[in-house]
Each structure stands twice: as C-alpha cells, then as structure tokens.
C-alpha cells in the first residue's frame, strides 16, 4: 500500500481559493461552489439606511439628514425606513447629470475658482 502524505504543505498545491490556510478552502466541496452559469445572489430591493449610506460612501447621520430633507427617495413601513435600491441608483445618476451640467455651464462661462479650474462639490 502507498504511503499517505499527511503534510499540510502538500495539500496547499491541491486546494484553490483558500482563505486562511490548509483545509479552509471550500472549493473542494461541490455544494459550496457556485455553478458556472448560476445567477448572482439576489440583492434586496430595499436597503436599510446603514446599507444605503455604505453604498453612497457617506455616514449614517448624513444619510438621515438627507432623508429628513426628502433628498433621497424613501419608503416608510411603519417605523422602518427603507431606501429602494433602484431608486437610489437613479437618484445618483440624476444628481451626477445635474452636477455635470452645472460644471459644464461654469466652464463654458469661463469660471475659474480659486484652484484655476471649475470644481464640483
């Protein structure tokens, strides 16, 4: 009978996608591997404020200020506040278009701020 190599370093070459070290890879477990043609995991339609703030790259307090001023689309379910993912993406796109139009208008008018170029805030 052949000798079984129990050296963990030997396993490193066999495992792919290891997170921490030998034996931590789930790549060898068929049920844990996504199929090649599997759809992406289902994203929630409604975001909690903390999730929306993280996606926007702003703090939770700033997001709640914007919600209080009705700047961001919101759905209230009783006491729960949720932000529709699709509406948030549209809001970002619309605000980007507005900022770009303002920037183009300022540059077209010859405005040069303190830095010598038009700036977007």
The pLDDT value given to residue 28: 54
pLDDT, tens digit, 9 for 90 and up, residues 50-92: 999 999 999 999 999 999 999 999 999 999 999 999 999 999 9
pLDDT at residue number 63? 95
Domain count, the chain: 1
- For residue 72, is it within any domain? yes
First-residue to last-residue Cα distance in the chain: 72
Domain region containing 58: 46-108
| Tens digits of residue pLDDT in 91-105 | 999 988 888 888 888
Given this model, what pLDDT does residue 83 score? 96
Q: What does the pLDDT average to over 99-119?
A: 71
Task: Tell whether the model's pLDDT for residue 1 goes beyond 60.
Answer: no
Residue 120 scores a pLDDT above 70 = no
83 lies in some domain? yes
Q: Which two tokens stand for residue 33?
A: 């591997």
Give 58 or 35, the one with higher predicted confidence: 58
91 lies in some domain: yes
Tokens (6 digits) for 111 = 């405005």
Phi, psi of 44 (to 5 degrees): -65, 145
Q: How far apart are CA 54 and CA 65, in angstroms?
A: 15
DSSP 24: -
Q: What are the DSSP E strand ranges found in 4-56?
A: 46-47
Strand residues in the chain grouped as ranges (E): 46-47, 75-77, 80-84
Per-residue confidence (pLDDT) for residue 57, from 0 to 100: 95
């Amino acid at each position: 009978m052949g000798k079984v190599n129990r050296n963990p370093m030997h396993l490193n070459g066999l495992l792919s996608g290891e997170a921490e070290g030998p034996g931590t890879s789930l790549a060898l477990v068929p049920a844990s591997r996504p199929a090649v043609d599997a759809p992406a995991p289902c994203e929630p339609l409604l975001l909690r404020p903390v999730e929306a703030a993280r996606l926007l790259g702003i703090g939770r307090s700033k997001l709640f200020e914007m919600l209080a001023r009705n700047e961001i689309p919101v759905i209230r379910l009783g006491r729960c506040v949720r932000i529709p993912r699709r509406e948030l993406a549209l809001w970002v796109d619309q605000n980007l278009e507005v900022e770009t139009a303002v920037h183009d208008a300022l540059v077209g008018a010859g405005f040069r701020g303190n830095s010598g170029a038009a700036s977007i805030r």
